[in-house]
Structure 1
Amino acid sequence: MRPDPRRFPVSCVLRVDGKPVRIQLSPAEIYGGPEGAWRVRVNRRWHDGVDGAPLYMDRARLAEFMAGLLAAGPLEPTPRPEICADMRVRVWLPGEGELDVGEPVMGWTYSEPILANDGCWYVLVSAAGRRWHARCEDVTPLPAKYQAGRPRQWMKNREAQYDHEH
């Protein structure tokens, strides 16, 4: 049996809005990450990127993460975006760098919106021959007349519900 490579040389418990939050740090090198960085667990769950890949933090990013936890207090999640699976959308194609923005292209959603650890909503999209998790703010649904059956009905139900409430 292979020994468990996890080690947590640093851990702490924070009280955020009166509830304990356990933070554990493990050296990133164990998981193939850069030397001097850390992999973080929050309440016994890995704090990974939106694509599920391990997220490694250097000291500056770790300090920013911890300060964000302490300053956050009770968080009100942003409302769920009006997007569903199998919806025709216009989405900004990612550029070469992580933060670069490419061009808008037509595509499809492959999932419901997902609220990630960073507090942003993401949706799995397919466009221009590739799939990726796009931030919902970079995704614009096409009008109902351009949607397939299920998303079209979903949009009409949302409109009827909105009209009924107002």
Structure 2
Amino acid sequence: MKFYYKKNKENIWFAVAVLVSIISYRVFCITDTVLIGIIGSIATIYLSVIKLKVDGDNLFNELFKTFNERYDQRFNDLINKQRIESKALEKEDKIVIIDYFNLCAEEYLWFTKKRIPEDVWYAWKIGIDRNLEILEINKLWHQEMKGDGAKSYYRITDAIKAQEMDTL
């Protein structure tokens, strides 16, 4: 029942509001014009709520696709190579990994703004945590997070608690 309510709460509230309006029409003998106005107002609010929900879904879809495309195109290969054979990062690779940290921070920012669902964020977080277990990426992470550095990453350190590693 809880799942059904959560998934259909807008429809349920709309039906209840219309039902209360019709009962009020019968009990309080309000005019037809007032009833039509009340139902029209309820319908306008209902459609606005549905539009907001659709807009939120569209925003999430765009964010999800963009974040995944950026990860796949720019970071996936380098991170997987490091996972297989962790070696010192070249300057260009460090820049790429710092860009990856920025991507992670953007994902976290949108999660905190309730634009990324919890289950999606936690799936991404698992991937971030796994990537931070790679020695060279872990070292760079901790260099970036020192001092005020973490502030430029939208407080992602509130969610990501990577242990500093010395060796594998």
Per the TM superposition, whether the score is higher than 0.5 is no
TM-score range, shorter chain: under 0.3
Q: Name which one, 1 or 2, has greater alpha-carbon Rg.
A: 2
More helix by share: 2
More strand by share: 1
Structure-1-length-normalised TM-score: 0.27
Between 1 and 2, higher relative CO (CA 8 Å, sep ≥ 6) is seen in 2
